[in-house]
Structure 1
């Protein structure tokens, strides 16, 4: 199972941008870091989920 760096970067960017709009998480830098982290985890888990589903 390989990792697609482009997919990971895309998820990190999208999640980071979305979290930047969530004022309840703290300052802008913290929100971007949390969102980017969530994006990296989501993109890293995606290949395993696809594999379990047979895709």
Structure 2
């Protein structure tokens, strides 16, 4: 796993774990986690392209 991917997902998971206890119920947390994961996986290629340009 390359460092950009590792750092990106560490930041995403860290932020999600900070706010997850505020969501009521396991199903809501699971849905939010899945949504955040999909968004993170979708945006990572664009972020990597932007970083490669510098």
TM-score, normalization by structure 2: 0.57
Question: 32, 37, 44: which is aligned to 1:39?
Answer: 37
Matched, 1:26 2:24: yes
1:1-49 deviations in Å (ceiling 9; x for gaps) = xxxxxxxxxx7xxx5xx76xx3320110011000110011011000000
Unaligned runs of 5+ in 1: 1-10
* Bigger fraction of residues in helix: 2
RMSD value, Cα = 2.2
Segments of 4+ moved more than 4 angstroms: none
Partner of 1:5: none
Q: How many pairs are equivalent?
A: 38
The separation in 2 between residues aligned to 1:27 and 1:37, in whole angstroms, is 16
